[in-house]
Structure 1
Amino acid sequence: MPSLQTPLGSGFGAASTAREVLAGIDLSGKTAIVTGGYSGIGTETSRALRAAGARVIVPARDTQKAKAALDGMDVELAAMDLASPSSIDAFTAAFVASGEPLHILINSAGVMACPLTRDARGYELQFATNHLGHFQLAARLWPALVRAQGARVVSLSSLGHRYASVDFDDPNFERREYDRWIAYGQSKTANALFAVGLEARGKAHGVHAFSVHPGRIVTDLARHMSVEELQKIGAVDEHGQPVIDLARGMKSPQQGAATSVWAATSAQLNGFGGVYCEDCDIAALAPEEDTTAPGSATLASGVRPWAVDPVAAERLWVLSERMTDTGI
């Protein structure tokens, strides 16, 4: 069976912006939830979806910060912390109880390369926030996604998935030495595998799932990296300003949001999912022997086979159900 990881020739590319991708698409009557929708790529995602007519809900851990960031944008804010299971339950219970369908869920929030931190359950924070929080969110929103009769769930993975597969024996670094980039890579691989697992469960209900690499964009996500580190990989210039260089995958936030909204809305993806996308298209499979070192200044494209492996996706799904005490 040929791989679904075959580029379509979408007509868009690395330079495309979210607004360009949504040109001519009317999302009136559609509801979208965008985690992290008040920072960096998430802000531009929220802005573009709202401009296309969607009702946009942004759950936020810091509602005051979110309110300030989204000032002037006609979006709805709600309190939710991806590292707090009770907070996720409260937010999702209220939405599901409303009886409203959820047409688009974009899992954009995340943390990157932070020092070893554990949540209240003892789970490593990058895996807990980037993957488990979004897993629980989607599972609790399942009735609303099914109700939409054609929902899409888009999870932001990353080039960083190449740094590590999921260590199913020790996902929380309880027995192995903690490495902030390996932990980040594991969480980004998990984001991609989640799309594979959700697609397997959702396609019969009209719910399709995708993972995306938005590009290399300097946002608040890089707050745990020093200016020196960012300069070393050419992400910021001598003045500390973000560098835009499409040849190396360095994009603006508007360009970074494009693949997310393309995956969430494009008719080219009707009827299927479970694929990893980049530059507003389905990504090709990367060779097994291809390597990308954390912090590399070089551009790499494509998805590692381990991040779209259905066997690994099923194993991760079972593990995630156990760790969050939830499922579909």
Structure 2
Amino acid sequence: MITPQRPLPSGFGPDTTAREALGGRDLTGTVGIVTGGHSGLGLVVTRVLAEAGAEIVVPARDPKRAAEALADIPRAEARPLDLVEPDSIDRFAETFLATGRPLHMLVNNAAVLGHPEQRDHRGFDYTFAVNHLGHHQLTARLWPALIRADGARVVTVSSRGHRFANVDLDDLHFERRPFDQTVSYAQSKTANALFSLALDSRGEPFGVRSFSVHPGVITTGLNRHMGETDRADARAAYGPRRTAEQGAATTVWCAANPQLVGMGGVYCEDVDIAEAVEASTTATPGARPWILDRELAERLWAVSEDLTGVRLPG
């Protein structure tokens, strides 16, 4: 059943903390994976889920550094993964699947922002490869564990930045149009939301529900490639700055709060389902029409399968 793209309302809001957004749920016996879960908002998500009883695996390019960040968090472990390297994604997934554990929560959180023009070894735009294609492949590879959970959630971190660009399926990697950092990032965040929409339609029959979220804005290493002017513009575009606990709240809400049982395929912000808004809307919040376009989501899914060479096990 399609979940309406409109606020519940949840009773929460922009000042809600990640712990409050959990809704008091005990996660003992559950397993989660949080990409980028060793720094910034991801670290808060990892901590809140683990302290509620979940076992959390944190994939990281530098697992030693990640393990140091996770040292004081119970039931959290770091494992090697580079989202821009397909072989690395496959190795991580194979290792996890070999444990036989179900996967109740997959949080596709890792991202790059404001990255200068760069291509991966396949010739793909680096930002699109990390933010979207890497998570598409990871989710597909982990599909058997998600089904095994008998009630799983996949949370993919999008952004209010989706309002700056749709996906250009004819030129995803800026081979014909001039490269633009803002457009590159916005396209990847639109792709995250469309991925979540298409994934939910595939997962619902198996009890796997999918959400995309705009987290709160905090100062993290994510914007290290941006100049001060760009950072100021971003603050104006994405909303007021929040604490890390507030910024991680919507992600935690989508990953574990009981309010969302039986729902999925929606874009969320401020710890609620976001309002659908017109394309011409100048206000920052809201889901623009292109991230709710199911036909476009299916087209992107097909393109992503072709680019990664990975399909959901059928």
Report Cα offsets for 1:47-91 as digits up to 9, x if no partner. 000111000100001112212222312211100000000000000
Alpha-carbon distance between aligned partners in 1 of 2:250 and 2:121, rounded to the nearest angstrom: 33
Q: Which residue of 2 aligns with 1:170?
A: 171
Report Cα offsets for 1:147-198 as digits up to 9, x if no partner. 0010000000001101100000010111111001000000000000011000
Deviation at 1:4, TM superposition (A): 1.2
Q: Which residue of 2 aligns with 1:256?
A: 247
Out of 270, 294, 303, the position equivalent to 1:279 is: 270
Residue 316, structure 1, aligned to residue 307, structure 2 = no
Q: 1:285 is aligned with what amino acid? A: A
Report Cα offsets for 1:242-300 as digits up to 9, x if no partner. xxxx9x43211111110001011122211121000001100001212124xxxxxxx61
Residue 304, structure 1, aligned to residue 285, structure 2 = no
Unaligned segments of structure 1, at least 5 residues? 236-245, 292-298
What secondary structure sits across from 2:254 in the alignment? helix
Distance change in 2, residues 1:319/1:160 (3 Å) = same
Distance change in 2, residues 1:144/1:215 (3 Å) = same
Q: 2:119 is aligned with what amino acid? A: R
Q: Which residue of 1 aligns with 2:39?
A: 39
Within-5 A mapping of 1:75-94: 75-94=76-95
Unaligned segments of structure 2, at least 5 residues? none
What secondary structure sits across from 1:8 in the alignment? coil
Q: Which residue of 2 aligns with 1:195?
A: 196
Deviation at 1:312, TM superposition (A): 0.6
Q: 1:51 is aligned with what amino acid? A: E
Q: 2:240 is aligned with what amino acid? A: G
Q: 1:81 is aligned with what amino acid? A: D
Alpha-carbon distance between aligned partners in 1 of 2:170 and 2:119, rounded to the nearest angstrom: 17
What secondary structure sits across from 1:303 in the alignment? coil
Alpha-carbon distance between aligned partners in 2 of 1:21 and 1:283, rounded to the nearest angstrom: 16
- How many residues get paired? 310
Distance change in 2, residues 1:110/1:233 (3 Å) = closer
Q: Which residue of 1 aligns with 2:68?
A: 68
Q: Which segments of structure 1 move beyond 4 Å, counting only runs of 4 or more?
A: 231-235
Within-5 A mapping of 1:47-58: 47-58=47-58
What secondary structure sits across from 2:301 in the alignment? helix
Q: Which residue of 2 aligns with 1:7?
A: 7
What secondary structure sits across from 2:94 in the alignment? helix
Q: Which residue of 2 aligns with 1:296?
A: none
What secondary structure sits across from 2:130 in the alignment? helix
Contact kept, 8 Å, 1:192 with 1:276, in 2: the verdict is yes
Deviation at 1:3, TM superposition (A): 7.2
Alpha-carbon distance between aligned partners in 2 of 1:72 and 1:215, rounded to the nearest angstrom: 24
Contact kept, 8 Å, 1:14 with 1:249, in 2: the verdict is no
When the two structures are superposed, what TM-score results if normalisation uses the length of structure 2? Answer: 0.95
Alpha-carbon distance between aligned partners in 1 of 2:200 and 2:234, rounded to the nearest angstrom: 35
Alpha-carbon distance between aligned partners in 1 of 2:233 and 2:25, rounded to the nearest angstrom: 40
Q: 1:310 is aligned with what amino acid? A: R
Deviation at 1:306, TM superposition (A): 0.1
Distance change in 2, residues 1:22/1:159 (3 Å) = same
Alpha-carbon distance between aligned partners in 2 of 1:287 and 1:202, rounded to the nearest angstrom: 28
Across the aligned residues of Structure 1 and Structure 2, the Cα RMSD in angstroms comes to 1.7
Report Cα offsets for 1:295-319 as digits up to 9, x if no partner. xxxx610010101210010000000
Report Cα offsets for 1:192-235 as digits up to 9, x if no partner. 00110000100000000000000222211111112344346668
When the two structures are superposed, what TM-score results if normalisation uses the length of structure 1? Answer: 0.91
Q: Percent identity over the alignment?
A: 52
